[in-house]
Amino acid sequence: MLQFIIRRLLHSILVLLAISVIIFFSIRLTGDPVTVMFAAGEPSPEAIESVRENLGLDEPLPVQYLVFLKNLATFDLGESFRTGLPVTEMVVDKMGATLLLAFGGVFVAMLIAFPVGILSAVKRGTAVDFFGRIFSLIGISFPNFWLGIMLILIFSVNLQWLPASGYDGIEYLILPSIALGMILSGILARLVRSSMLENLSQQYVSTARSKGLKEWVVIMRHTFRNALIPTITFLGIQFGSLLGGTVIIEQVFSWPGVGRMIIDAINQRDYPVIQGGVIMLAMIMVLVNLLVDISYSLIDPRIKAGGGSS
């Protein structure tokens, strides 16, 4: 088990290093941030060079990257080019809102997918199963940004039931959580259905029914409980994808999270904020996947030999 954990930790470190290389060098293809800072005026070349030197942009890119890695090892993500604030504090301040939105999306996905998946499996081959599979297909097909705009149009603009943007209470979380969780609910409903069907064909289900247990007890207490193992694993892995999806949803709903902060930083070419935001999101994704791999290996020892779930 210890060797398995060490192997997964090394794999996670390599993934983070690869992400850091990609994000560090790719954002520098967008142009010089100093030109954005002086967009409203005509500074002298000396002033531009002075700013570049103060920001450390006068060094070769490999040197800048090594400095970035050195600071990253101590969780020092640098300072924002625009505000001068520590990026670590900025990201931590926004991360709570992003995680809240991600958990809201997971909750909506489970709230929708579990009943749909269970009913589709229990009523296999009926109209209920047919409409359940159609719902899953529709949920997967909707782009979350389009769904977010439609939700705002219907429930905020036309019906005026829910707020369209910002965050000042739990009611502000409802629409972005639905927009974020709908795609996941379609995928999750299909997984729950297939896992339920697999368990319904097992011998222990027939034994439970032969003992005279009520059908809902057989379904919920026995079948669904065993079907949850691959489902929970899937949710853990998909949590990272939800964090990535929050970038667009936060922009649509003006949600004050890391995703929106990254978008604003991209527009301003604020390299440290972009790097810090992406790296922190990547760290959470890698950590969640690592915890899923470790917990699943404890449930099923065969996973240790296979090298993990991803």
CB atoms within 10 A of CB 63: 11
Distance of CA 68 to the CA centre of its chain: 24
**Per-residue pLDDT in tens (0 to 9) along the chain, 310 residues:** 677 778 878 888 888 889 888 888 888 777 667 766 665 566 667 766 777 777 777 778 888 888 888 888 888 888 888 888 899 999 999 988 998 998 999 899 989 988 998 888 888 888 888 888 888 888 788 788 888 899 999 999 998 899 888 888 888 999 999 998 888 888 888 888 888 888 777 777 777 777 777 777 777 776 777 777 778 778 877 877 787 778 888 888 988 888 889 888 888 888 889 888 888 888 888 888 777 777 766 655 555 544 444 4
- What distances in angstroms separate CA 180 from CA 21, 58, 146, 230, one per listed residue? 28, 41, 11, 21
Residue found by looking up tokens 């301003």 in the block: 268
State the chain's mean pLDDT as an integer: 81
Q: pLDDT (tens digit, 9 = 90+) per residue, 269-300?
A: 888 898 888 888 888 888 887 777 777 666 55
The pLDDT of residue 152 is 92
Which amino acid makes up residue 149? Answer: I
CB contact set of 247 (below 8 Å; sequence gap of 6+): 258, 259, 260, 262, 263
The pLDDT of residue 155 is 92
3-state secondary structure the chain: CHHHHHHHHHHHHHHHHHHHHHHHHHHHHHCCHHHHHCCCCCCCHHHHHHHHHHHCCCCCHHHHHHHHHHHHCCCCCCECCCCCCEHHHHHHHHHHHHHHHHHHHHHHHHHHHHHHHHHHHHCCCCHHHHHHHHHHHHHHHCCHHHHHHHHHHHHHHHCCCCCCCCCCCCHHHHHHHHHHHHHHHHHHHHHHHHHHHHHHCCHHHHHHHHCCCCHHHHHHHHHHHHHHHHHHHHHHHHHHHHHHHHHHHHHHCCCCCHHHHHHHHHHHCCHHHHHHHHHHHHHHHHHHHHHHHHHHHHHCCHHHHHCCCC
| Residue closest to 279 by CA, chosen among 100, 27, 97 | 27
Yes or no: say if 166 and 172 are a contact pair by the CB < 8 Å rule: yes
Yes or no: say if 130 and 119 are a contact pair by the CB < 8 Å rule: no
CA angle 47, 53, 58 (to 5 degrees): 115
Quick one: 87-299 is in which CATH superfamily? MetI-like (1.10.3720.10)
**Terminal alpha carbon distance of the chain:** 17
Given phi > 0 = left and psi -120 to 50 = alpha, else beta, which region is 269?
left
Rounded Cα gap, residues 241 and 226, in angstroms:
25
Length of the chain: 310
